Structure 1
């Protein structure tokens, strides 16, 4: 079983913002894996399905970003999931727009949603897929809660699609394989 968590903020006012890249990747995965994310459970919108004989749960915490750990802790604890089968996808200001980066484990990198998850799970040892949103030119909050320029739309859509493909590759072939395949530049390596 895999639980794939996309981080973001609930509500229409946050749709399409840089901070909701995790939600956007979950939406892409929902289509690719034919798993509807509609049930309200574990303080989240979730969807459950089977992919290649593996149970997959897609999760979009509804706790707001800074409290994401509450929803993740609840579902991981309920299913007694080994943390190696938890994949968290989220925005990263330290990566250029269009880049994705996969890691087996690591610190929060200053991301408040990840801080909350790491704190409540009491561990940094779970895979994550970071999607680049670029460095802010001004205020950090305005940057993450802002939207991409229209000129970046194709690059952003491609990075969302590649992040979803990377997560599928983790399920099929493991984290190391996905890291080797996807931790390159901004172009698709497939």
Structure 2
């Protein structure tokens, strides 16, 4: 069984530790834990890990957030992975920091990366792991907020949250989406 894990973010050192790059951070954790190296692929940095007899392709789009669907479409097609076996990891302003929510489908909720994936696939019927980054910003300043680093207090909690998010990603491949959601969405 093959699975596609797509971590959303922006390339470049200026974005590396920002809230918007939490998808990259989760995949970096998984790759490091499984001693895998990312290679430059088409529209993305790509690597593969094996876990409990399953194969997970980790994709970090290099197209910047607003064109994330390009990488998604390419890897779903070239690796012949059904959309049902894809999970997108993304930041979410509507969820408080420290909360993780997995959904089988849903709206883009104003997130440009999810919007482009939805436009590219022609629907919103794909699983996503939404990593809460909170909404502690002045009205109209959400772009500055998501492109800023986590606070010192948040950074202390981040490693455990990233580890849990990574466990959730692998769980989708081992026990399935429904059981993973039932277990983790508390």
* TM-score normalised per structure 2: 0.94
Partner residue in 2 for 1:35: 36
In the TM superposition, structure 1's runs of 4+ consecutive aligned residues that sit over 4 Å from their partners are none
Partner residue in 2 for 1:19: 20
Partner residue in 1 for 2:159: 157
Name the CA distance, whole Å, in 1 between partners of 2:169 and 2:33: 11
Name the CA distance, whole Å, in 1 between partners of 2:88 and 2:80: 17
Q: Summarize deviations over 1:75-126 as a string: whole Å, max 9, x none.
A: 1121222111011001000111111000111111111000001110112111
Structure 2: stretches of 5+ with no match in the other structure = none
The alpha carbon displacement at 1:161 in A equals 1.2
Retained in 2: the 8 A contact 1:97–1:155? no
Partner residue in 1 for 2:113: 113
Retained in 2: the 8 A contact 1:43–1:71? yes
Report how many aligned residue pairs link the two structures: 183
The alpha carbon displacement at 1:50 in A equals 2.2
Query: Is the partner of 1:152 in helix, strand or coil?
Result: helix
Partner residue in 2 for 1:97: 97
Name the CA distance, whole Å, in 1 between partners of 2:137 and 2:8: 23
The alpha carbon displacement at 1:180 in A equals 1.3
Pairing of 1:32-181 with structure 2 (within 5 A): 32-37=33-38, 39-138=39-138, 139-181=141-183
Q: CA-atom RMSD, angstroms?
A: 1.1
